[in-house]
Amino acid sequence: MDFNRQIFEQVKKVIPNLTTRTFSRYLGKSEGYYGSINAQNMPISTNSLLYLAEILESYKQLKQLTEHKTAIVNDIQNTIACEVASRAHAIDCDNHRIREMVLKSIAKINLHNDYAFYPFVVIG
């Protein structure tokens, strides 16, 4: 199962009557977004994944979910975080020095913004 479908199916476990149109809105896009990217065999955009993680956080707080459903939402958010980190780490750049500069810049921005969680660890 590809990543797009995996995320959709996971969210559907928490929101059983979820449609692809509603899911598209949860990604911060128009109702046809999810169907369109799947038809083109494209990944969900990174910004849309982050938007979905925020929507799920709000959903978790507003709906007073059971412990089991809260755990599912946490797993989905973890899956999203891992995918976003993987995409950032897999920057397509043949020049090792440039790639290292970009990753260090990401880490520096995170430190500057005083985030509690640092998803990018740069050694060296």
What pLDDT score was predicted for residue 85? 82
Q: Is 67 helix (H, G, I), strand (E, B) or coil?
A: helix
CB 116 within 8 A of CB 98: no
Is the pLDDT confidence value at 20 over 60?
A: yes
Output the pTM of the full model.
Answer: 0.75
pLDDT at 45: 95
Please report the pLDDT score of residue 111 as a whole number. Answer: 65
pLDDT(77) > 70 = yes
Measured distance CA(13)–CA(112) in Å, rounded: 37
Residue 34 in tokens: 């999810």
